[in-house]
Amino acid sequence: MLKKLDSIKQRYHDINEELMNPETVSDRQKFLELSREHNSLQEIVETYDCLIDAMSEKEECSNMLKTESNSDMRLLLESELNELEEKIDDITNELKFMLLPKDENDERNVIVEIRAGTGGDEASLFGADLMRMYLRYAERHRFNASVLSLSDTPMGGVKEAVISIKGKGVYSKLKFENGVHRVQRVPETESKGRIHTSAATVAVLSEADDVDIEIITSDLRIDTYRASGAGGQHVNKTESAIRITHIPTGLVVQCQNEKSQIKNRDTAMKVLKTRLYDLERSRVQAQQASERKSQVGSGDRSERIRTYNFHQGRVTDHRVNLTIYRLTEFLDGDIDEVIEALTLKNRMDMLSSES
């Protein structure tokens, strides 16, 4: 392991030098790739430096113990030596986790898509709850979040929402949110107080860079139309809304949030590139199915991953059998406990499969 860490540290310093090279700076794709690799190695190198320091202190302490004759001083040195050995064990275990194969997209920004599922109006209201939850989560972590596209309902629900969240390591934190989120509660329209079950689906896509996906203009059909719904009188006067169809795959993206047709087109293209990138990534992952056995669940968007029970005030994540009895705080974006549990399970599964 130490030889591997030495080579990683050397690679880290090589990248540092290369990133300062003017030729690298002028090559956008190469610069982005090297920057991502640099970021992924930084924590490993810093932790490895801590290990080297601890090992050096241990050696120094051992040498002092060999020559020390004072009994009190020997007890003090032995105690320090035990602490250093525990510290070295902890850092070594931490490095083992860090050296596990990483998802190349972990450092990317994300596009989060929320769609109301079964349950009618109640499902769309739950979709609005989920949208707010992720926006509040982003706010808590000082990520930059914005709603790219929104299809709402008169009751304040969300039929479909597309959110952009930007920040360091966002994908690594939210990638396990893929799947069906189920809610159990008494709807406001329920006169007899019966608990209803409805659902919404969440898709977390790693955002594609311009250099990741090349789209041929002739493969696109772009339609303009008058926007509908909330947004001011302009929606009925100008054809500012954009619908882009990628003919080879049949993917359709539309955006009507902005008054400007150009802005709506740029946003729709951004979402289309991300969906195409995700489509290609899913195809590659399907060919490497054996490597995915260690993941938390399949990541399939048809898989029920979590239940939000309002009557009992609890949230249960079925993949890690974790139940939290603070539903209000969870829906206010305080979801770190579940994210950490999912990340830890994923790492433990990967570690066991590596051994």
Summarised one tens digit per residue, pLDDT across range 151-203 is 888 888 999 999 999 998 899 999 999 999 999 998 876 666 788 899 999 99
- The domain boundary, picked from 257, 286, 315, lies at 286
Do 33 and 131 have their domain in common?
no
The CA distance from 66 to 271, in Å, is 65
Instruction: Tell me, rounded to whole angstroms, the distance of Cα 4 from its chain centroid.
Output: 27
The CA distance from 156 to 149, in Å, is 15
Total-model pTM? 0.67
| Residue, of 341 and 279, whose pLDDT is higher | 341
- The domain boundary, picked from 228, 263, 286, lies at 286
pLDDT single digits (tens) 250-291: 898 888 877 788 888 888 888 888 888 888 777 766 654 443
pLDDT single digits (tens) 294-321: 434 444 556 789 999 999 999 999 999 9
Does some domain include residue 226?
yes
Q: Domain of residue 192: give its range.
A: 110-211+291-354
Instruction: Tell me, rounded to whole angstroms, the distance of Cα 280 from its chain centroid.
Output: 18
The CA distance from 316 to 306, in Å, is 6
- Which residues, 6+ apart, have CB-to-CB distance to 85 below 8 Å? 58
The CA distance from 176 to 181, in Å, is 12
| Residue, of 265 and 329, whose pLDDT is higher | 329
Q: What pLDDT does 16 receive?
A: 92
Do 35 and 13 have their domain in common?
yes
Do 204 and 306 have their domain in common?
yes
